[in-house]
Amino acid sequence: MPSPIQQAAERLCLDCGLCCNGVLFDQVVLQPADQIAALSARGLKIKKRQFFHQPCAALCGSLCQIYAHRPTRCRAFECRQFQQVAAGKVDENDARARIDDVRASVASIELLLNRSEHDNPRKSLAQRVATVVEHTQDESFSASLVTAMEALGRTLAEHFRVEKP
């Protein structure tokens, strides 16, 4: 049975969804052990038999609808918040507050994006912002989006993304 700290980390992970909704990643690269046909049958749109785009088609709210059958990379990924809660370095409530802050930042960015006819919510957040900025003539609007995305990027880098070895 998992320890209470491990249980807290797992609860946090299942309630978050930032690694699946297009905020942390643009795509997930499949691994040799992944069964492409089975993943496709579960609703993932596999591209070139190598990857699928985020937001993930299996995400409903913040829950993975194929959790027991998710790809290898999804099974292996642990964001920095998960790692710190699992190690007892960060309290679950503090991690939840940080996730809520990120969600609020994302919501603010999405409000800006919704003002543009060039927004495509099926793309990752970074791709959406880049597309809207590319097509806008309003420099103030563009600057607002870029500034908000840069601030979010710093938060994600500091508190969620894991440094590669």
In tens, the pLDDT along 95-110 reads 999 999 999 999 999 9
CA atoms of 21 and 4, how far apart (whole Å): 27
pLDDT on residue 130: 97
Residues in the chain predicted with pLDDT less than 70, given as ranges, are: 164-165
Give me the chain's average pLDDT, please. 95
Which backbone phi and psi does 67 adopt, to 5 degrees? Answer: -50, -45
- Cα–Cα distances (Å) from 52 to 6, 17, 130, in that order, read 29, 16, 19
DSSP class of 68: G
Q: Which stretch of DSSP H or E encloses residue 29?
A: strand 27-29
pLDDT on residue 69: 94
CA atoms of 16 and 39, how far apart (whole Å): 22
> How far from the centroid of its chain's Cα atoms is residue 154's Cα?
15
CA atoms of 107 and 102, how far apart (whole Å): 9
pLDDT on residue 2: 85
pLDDT on residue 164: 62
pLDDT on residue 48: 95
CA atoms of 23 and 103, how far apart (whole Å): 9
DSSP β-bridge partners for residue 64: 59
